[in-house]
């Protein structure tokens, strides 16, 4: 199973990366948006308020 990390930066859709585990996906998301969080599937978490319009979302991808 794979986890897709995607979101927005300045209201532009971005694919931040893919990971084999949820933990790896969260590391990618934290690196990109600068926040500590734990995501449920499809939950959006907003990032640093100084980086306008940035969020990350982790979704499970069935193989």
Overall average pLDDT of the 32-47 stretch: 60
Whole-model pTM: value is 0.63
Output the pLDDT for position 50.
Answer: 54
CB burial readout 22-37, b (16+ within 10 A) else e: beebbebbbebbeeee
| More confident position, 57 or 35 | 57
Yes or no: say if 1 and 63 are a contact pair by the CB < 8 Å rule: yes
pLDDT at residue 39 tops 60:
no
* Reported confidence tier of residue 18, pLDDT bands at 50, 70, 90: very high
Share of the chain above pLDDT 70, in %: 63
Alpha-helical regions (H) of 1-63:
22-33
Mean residue pLDDT of the chain comes to 74
């Amino acid at each position: 199973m794979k986890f897709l990390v995607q979101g927005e930066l300045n209201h532009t859709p971005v694919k931040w990366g893919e990971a084999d585990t949820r933990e790896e996906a969260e590391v990618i998301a934290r690196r990109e948006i600068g926040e500590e969080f734990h995501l449920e599937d499809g939950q959006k978490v907003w990032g640093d308020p100084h980086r306008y319009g940035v969020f990350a979302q982790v979704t499970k991808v069935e193989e």
